[in-house]
Structure 1
Amino acid sequence: MRVTFATEAAPGRPNEDFVAATPDAVVLLDGAGTPAGSDSGCSHGVAWYSRTLGSTLLTSMTQSGDALAGLLAEGIKSVASLHDGICDLSHPGSPSATVVMLRRTADAVEWLVLADSVLVLDVGEPMVICDDREAQIGAYHRVEMDSLPSGTPEHIQAHRRYVETLRSYRNRDGGFWVAATDPHAADQALTGSMPLDKVHAVALLSDGASRPVDRFGITTWRQTLDLLAKKGPQALLKQVRDAERSDPEGNRWPRGKAYDDATAAYCLV
């Protein structure tokens, strides 16, 4: 499997995404940032969580043929043990992340998607896999935030309230599920496999990198796959930044963050 990837932090912030690969496995995580003024109960931070869980998952994927959901559950448990007793893991804002895992076996491509990062399989037509439960719940709570210009004090405060409201729906029935401290979240992931000869390529995208399609509507999944194939992941990230810069106040595309961490991996299988 040939893998190329690129990742870029939102301007002025540490990168809370993580991506890594071997010839047969790829992981991509998008850490859920903690807004200014909010507490997480953790001294390590979101970037640490994404890096630590991501590297743990990649190691386990290369050493074990067990089901991806089981590897994710064990990974969540392992990372929790690294800061249990040091940090307050019961805090509703404890660091969390979306997870995409991709593994190539002798005859198939296997995947796992937890939360709103995106997996796109090129099987002639794009096959898009994304867990949109957070977006569905968030739609009921983001009206105030989306009505305010990005970057203003009022928008920043509304975004913090929005994030703190969504915490009450995190990792519970009727809500949405992410990797955090509860290994049972892995049971809620979307998983599947496809025969190897049916898949031409696969894209793994954080929600910052999928913005041109699912947030901005300026391109399609087919066009995104073609861009990745012809010019690589960095070209997609440039498309993201160009669009964000064209609408810094969120007038055209209301959003919680004017700029987001963006990460893309493209795999020829």
Structure 2
Amino acid sequence: MSIRLSSEVYTETSPTHQVNEDFVLAGQDFVIVLDGATPVPGLENGCIHDVPWLVRYLGLHLAEGLIAPGDASLVSILEGAIRRVCEAHAGTCDLDDPNSPSSTVALLRLRGERADYLVLADSSVVFRMTDGSILPITDDRLDHLDDYSVAGFGAVRNTAEGFWVASTKPEAARQAVTGSVDLGSHPVHSVAVLTDGAATLVERHGRTWAELFAILDLGPEALVRRTREADEAATAEFRGKRHDDATAVLCHLGDGDIP
């Protein structure tokens, strides 16, 4: 049996941004979600390109790898995509600069009755099983840094002591959170692929993944709207931006043989 995805997608620019630095692409058997890191105003990063350039090129190279024949791992596909992006601007930019444009990565791929996933930095892939149980795939290394200053981030980005993102080191792909779900023995009802801007109801506001799915069932746009309301109403201090670009994908799995 061939299982295929049908996906509902919504992406929205932060109320405080002019440009959406997320990237999303969904096919019959894969989903790509990227969240570009907003640059610090005035901070030199050694690159003539902006973050939307990075996520577009990275996303398109990921898509090329995902639709290519063969059974390459998600790690090797991401590693190759980062390498190709590096090659595209190595002649014009300083790829050794610790503040080079970067992105999170969340990938979902179906192969037969297997669902492969990859998460790098703070985007998420969350499985909801038919029995109601939840399997969240997250990379929480950004939550355990000692120094959240600009200098502190730059010092530990893409190092074993800090966190990993898709930027100028292809080997960062090998540090991603990866795995597979056997859909035969673990029937999946649906999968959410989210940037952190669409997951803050759980990550910042204390809601459960089950509660998030209940909102997401109304549509990805409903989730983003509810998230915006919670972010705006929050009074407690929290690390990071109050608002962010938000991308949510709700994936339904079905028999690809059924028209």
Pairing 1:219-230 to 2, within 5 Å after superposition: 219-229=207-217
- CA shift in 2, pair 1:22/1:9, >3 Å: same
- Whole-angstrom CA distance in 1 between matches of 2:151 and 2:251: 36
Question: Alpha-carbon deviation of 1:42?
Answer: 1.1
Pairing 1:118-267 to 2, within 5 Å after superposition: 118-123=124-129, 124-137=132-145, 140-142=146-148, 162-197=149-184, 198-217=187-206, 219-229=207-217, 231-247=218-234, 251-267=235-251
Letter in 2 for 1:226: A
Q: Does the 8 Å CA contact 1:21/1:58 hold for their aligned counterparts?
A: no
- Bigger Cα displacement from structure 2, 53-62 vs 252-261: 252-261
TM-score (norm 1): 0.87
Question: Alpha-carbon deviation of 1:19?
Answer: 0.7
- Counting matched residue pairs gives 243
Per-residue CA distance 1:67-124 (angstroms, 9 max, x = gap): 0000000000001111111111111110111101110111111111111111111123
Letter in 2 for 1:135: D
Letter in 2 for 1:169: V
Q: Does the 8 Å CA contact 2:117/2:178 hold for their aligned counterparts?
A: yes
User: Is 1:9 matched up with 2:13?
Assistant: yes
Secondary structure of 1:99's counterpart equals strand
Partner of 2:41: 36
Per-residue CA distance 1:167-199 (angstroms, 9 max, x = gap): 110111221111111111111011111122421
- Whole-angstrom CA distance in 2 between matches of 1:62 and 1:43: 30
- Whole-angstrom CA distance in 2 between matches of 1:244 and 1:47: 24
User: Is 1:102 matched up with 2:108?
Assistant: yes
- CA shift in 2, pair 1:202/1:253, >3 Å: farther
Secondary structure of 2:243's counterpart equals coil
Q: Does the 8 Å CA contact 2:106/2:117 hold for their aligned counterparts?
A: yes
User: Is 1:87 matched up with 2:93?
Assistant: yes
Partner of 1:58: 63
Comparing both structures, which one devotes a greater share of its residues to helix?
Answer: 1
Q: Does the 8 Å CA contact 2:107/2:125 hold for their aligned counterparts?
A: no
